[in-house]
Chains A and B, each alone.
Chain A
Amino acid sequence: MHFSHVLKSKKIALSLILGVFLTFCTCKTFATQAEHAPETEQPAHTEGGHEEAFNPSEVILEHIADSHSIHLWGTASIALPVILYTDKGLEVFSAANFEHGHKDFAGKHYTYRLVKDKVAIVEGTDNLLPAATVLSLNKKLIDFSITRNVVSMWMSMLIIFIIFLSVSSAYKKREGKAPKGLQSFIEPIIMFVRDDIARPNIGYKYERFMPLLLTVFFFIWVNNLIGLVPFFPGGANLTGNIAVTFVLAFITLVVVNINGNKYYWKHIFAPDVPVWLYPIMWPVELVGIISKPFALMIRLFANITAGHIIVLSLISLIFVFKAASVSLVSVPFVVFMDVLELLVAALQAFIFTLLTALFIGTAIEEHHH
Chain B
Amino acid sequence: MELVTPEIGLVFWTSVSFFILFIILAKFAWKPIMGAISERERSIEDALLKAEAAKDEMARLTNENDALLKQARAERDLILKEAKVLKDQIVADAKDNAQKEGARMIELARIEINNLKAIAMADVKNQVASLSLEIAEKVLRKQFEDSSKQDALVADLLKEVKL
The residues of A with any CB-CB pair to B shorter than 8 Å are: 61, 64-66, 83, 116, 142-147, 149-150, 153-154, 157, 160-161, 164-165, 167-168, 171-172, 175-176, 187, 190-191, 194, 207, 210-212, 214-215, 218-219, 241-244, 246-248, 251, 301, 305
Give min CB distance, A117 to chain B, whole Å.
10
Given contacts A66-B10, A176-B39, whether A167 and B33 have CB atoms under 8 Å apart is: yes
A247 touches B25 (CB 8 A): no
Q: Which residue of B lies closest to A172 (CB)?
A: B32
Q: Which residue of A lies closest to B25 (CB)?
A: A215
Give min CB distance, B124 to chain A, whole Å.
120
6 A-B pairs with the lowest CB-CB distances in the bound complex, closest first: A243-B10, A171-B36, A164-B29, A243-B6, A211-B26, A247-B14
Residues of A within 8 A of B6 (CB): 242-243, 246
Give min CB distance, A206 to chain B, whole Å.
11
Per DSSP, chain B at the interface is helix
- The CA of A55 and the CA of B43, in the complex, are separated in Å by 62
Instruction: Name the one of A116, A175, A244 contacting B10, with C-beta atoms under 8 angstroms.
Output: A244
Q: Which residue of B lies closest to A240 (CB)?
A: B3
Residues of B within 8 A of A66 (CB): 7, 10
Residues of B within 8 A of A142 (CB): 8-9
Give min CB distance, A191 to chain B, whole Å.
7
Residues of A within 8 A of B4 (CB): 242, 301
Per DSSP, chain A at the interface is helix
Instruction: Name the one of B3, B10, B17 contacting A147, with C-beta atoms under 8 angstroms.
Output: B10
Give min CB distance, A301 to chain B, whole Å.
8
Q: Is B21 among interface residues, defined by CB-CB distance under 8 A? A: yes
Q: Which residue of B lies closest to A187 (CB)?
A: B37
Given contacts A190-B33, A190-B37, A215-B30, whether A149 and B10 have CB atoms under 8 Å apart is: yes
B22 touches A211 (CB 8 A): yes
Give min CB distance, B25 to chain A, whole Å.
5
A144 touches B9 (CB 8 A): yes
A-B contact pairs, 23 of them (CB 8 A): A64-B3, A143-B7, A144-B13, A146-B13, A147-B10, A160-B21, A161-B21, A165-B29, A168-B33, A171-B33, A176-B39, A176-B43, A207-B34, A211-B22, A211-B30, A214-B30, A215-B25, A219-B18, A243-B8, A246-B6, A247-B15, A247-B18, A305-B3
Most buried by A among B8, B18, B39, B43: B18
- The CA of A64 and the CA of B6, in the complex, are separated in Å by 13
A153 touches B17 (CB 8 A): yes
Q: Is B24 among interface residues, defined by CB-CB distance under 8 A? A: yes
Q: Is B125 among interface residues, defined by CB-CB distance under 8 A? A: no
Instruction: Name the one of B2, B15, B31 contacting A65, with C-beta atoms under 8 angstroms.
Output: B2
